[in-house]
Amino acid sequence: MKFSNPMANAVRALCMDAVEKAQSGHPGAPLGMADIAYTLWTKHLRHNPSNPDWFNRDRFVLSNGHGSMLLYALLHLTGYDLSIDDLKRFRQLHSKTPGHPEYSYTPGVETTTGPLGQGLANAVGMAIAEKVLAAQFNKPEYAVVDHYTYCFAGDGCLMEGISHEACSLAGTLGLERLIVFWDDNGISIDGEVKGWFTDDTQARFQAYGWQVIANVDGHDHEAIDNAILEAKKCAGKPTLICCKTVIGAGSPNKAGKNSSHGSPLGESEIRATRKALNWHHEPFDIPSDICNEWDAREAGAAWENEWNTLFKRFNEAHPRLASEFTRRTVGQLPEDFSQSANSFIHSAQAEMQPMATRKASQNAIEFYANLLPEIIGGSADLSGSNLTMWNSSQPITAENASGNYLFYGVREFGMTAIANGISIHSGLKPFCATFLIFMEYARNAVRMAALMGLPNIFVYTHDSIGQGEDGPTHQPIEQLATLRMTPNLDTWRPCDAAETAVAWKIALMRSNGPTALVFSRQSVKPQARTDDQLHKIEKGGYTLRPCEGEPDIILIATGSEVPLAVEAAEQLINLHDIKASVVSLPSPSVFLRQESTYQEQVLPPHVTCRLAIEAAHVDYWHKFVGPAGEILGLDSFGESAPGEVLFSHFGITVDNVIAKARKALAKRNTF
């Protein structure tokens, strides 16, 4: 009988039972990939269920995340902290078995997957991290970084554009420790994919520079095993193993059909499937002998102990290198980081040189990258415009992976998802860069970083109509607002070198979520500050220019519009006898996490006359100015012209700030 292996069928049984109990889920892929999973997880995958975070474990990514029950069944059977009761709560509120794999929810889940193709890109990032760290730390006889990244991917993953971006780069970088299994079942939700997916996938991956192992029977354990062994022998190339499978394998009436893809099989079909598989056990009942064969805890402990012994010898031979390895892989900053950062911030403040904040960012990268060798930068073919390279940056190549900079090419989405994988792996602190407008290509990966709480840094330059002559296709309008509205994403738009230095410091210190750093193309005037004001930048917002007594109006500004607000405030005070203060608000989300007493100190509730100034969409600022306030910004796309011309054309001028301020003051009396 084709599907006679009881260990693989234990996976099938748990998957169809959990989906049926939830009355929700995707049984087709788990049933179809059970044989591949059995072979990989019992014969090749090195992991320790008792310590899911053991550093040198092989990474496993289920890119086709809708098949989540496959992963949960494997984790349960091999001995992770995932009980039968957890499986019975599949897709229920606050369970450890959500509808798609969620990073940090379930022990053993390496990354959040669901948006197809992103898990594959994450796997590329993990493989990059493995290769870079191995090049930086491994010594003869001490291969302390020595593991594989395995990824399951379906037809849908390979249809997504991100798979092209990520896999093309993976081939260029020669990621030989990356092994991807293509679940070639020919079925998606809409039916047979031959109506919309006729790519020569094998030729495509060969063109990327991958080893391709074709025509593997995805239900033949020996064939799968041999393919994995062949993949491991390949030097200098990632491997795609093309597994021909039957979706819903084992189901007499739904196998090979899209009806098994995204709906429970149904009670009668499950009974028929049990009979066809010769599986005569009750739902969620796995015989003890099968459980014992699956249990990987003893083997996992032995693998980890073997590595610990190796690392002990590595520490004895190379103590300083071992100490640095430990610091980086546990995510600790150097003890003197904060002190050194503060010294740099004070020096940036003291210089008082006009410059574009993208240039100030480059200066910050130069400083922080020398302080933190774990920083790994990169840009989507805009390094010279984003100003993301520094004096000691070295490109990472297939031949030499010991560097610290990735040339991603024009791959914004792939770049961001790859950076997510690098971050998840541990040991490296990635940042990646593009123009702010092209964040749109990467948005879903940015969202995934926020959802997973990854401490990634996204560098976005050319932040407004100040971008200039390239025109409205390159000028961001609504992007700042949408970044700021993304939960768990901190967005900074600094106004000068000092605020930029602080923004980088806080981003590097953050451990529970990503940060977007948004910088100007054009030069901006630096601002004078007291030491107290300099310290308060870290709070995300502060009073930059106070006035005598209580202000009549508060001007709120960010980035390149802060000098504009300061000049306008001075004229309001000196020429119009209007007491105006200026609040710089480089990171509203950070500001809103401060104690209410501090927020009210900066923005007193009774001072209702407020004007927000930013060369971006106006709608974000209503919550800060209230009904009595005014907003000077944009609600239309830009134009093609020099930046200074556009600021005048769209009314982002001192004169218009003053006019808007007077309008707000006049309106105040009606509220």
Question: Catalytic site residues?
Answer: 412
> Are the C-beta atoms of 639 and 648 separated by less than 8 Å?
no
> Are the C-beta atoms of 357 and 519 separated by less than 8 Å?
yes
> Which of 496, 517, 513, 495 lies closest to 505, judged by CA?
517
Quote the crossing angle between the two packed helices 497-509 and 357-371, to the nearest 10°: 40
Q: How many residues does the chain have?
A: 671
- Which helix or strand (DSSP H or E) is residue 120 part of? helix 118-137
What is the C-alpha to C-alpha distance for residues 377 and 405, in angstroms, rounded to an integer?
5
> Are the C-beta atoms of 147 and 46 separated by less than 8 Å?
yes
What is the C-alpha to C-alpha distance for residues 66 and 421, in angstroms, rounded to an integer?
19
Place of tokens 């501090």: 598
> Are the C-beta atoms of 576 and 655 separated by less than 8 Å?
no
Phi, psi of 433 (to 5 degrees): -140, 150
> Which of 564, 666, 553, 551 lies closest to 613, judged by CA?
564
List Cβ neighbours of 264 (8 Å cut-off, separation of 6 or more): 16, 19, 20, 22, 23, 24, 25, 27
Q: State the Rg of the chain over Cα.
A: 28
> Which of 121, 627, 670, 25 lies closest to 415, judged by CA?
121
Q: CB count, 10 Å around CB of 392?
A: 12
559: phi > 0 → left, psi -120 to 50 → alpha, else beta; which?
Answer: left
- b/e per residue 3-37 (b: at least 16 CB within 10 A): bebbbbbbbbbbbbbbbbbbeebbbbbbbbbbbbb
- b/e per residue 234-257 (b: at least 16 CB within 10 A): eeebbbbbbbbbbbbbbbebbbbb
Alpha carbon separation from 18 to 46, 166, 290, 488 (Å, rounded): 27, 33, 18, 31
- Sheet containing strand 211-217, edge to edge, reads 59-62, 149-154, 178-184, 239-244, 211-217
CA 656 vs. chain centroid, Å, equals 40
Q: What is the 3-state secondary structure (H, E, C) of 427-483?
A: CCEEEEEEEHHHHHHHHHHHHHHHHHCCCCEEEEECCCHHHCCCCCCCCCCCHHHHH
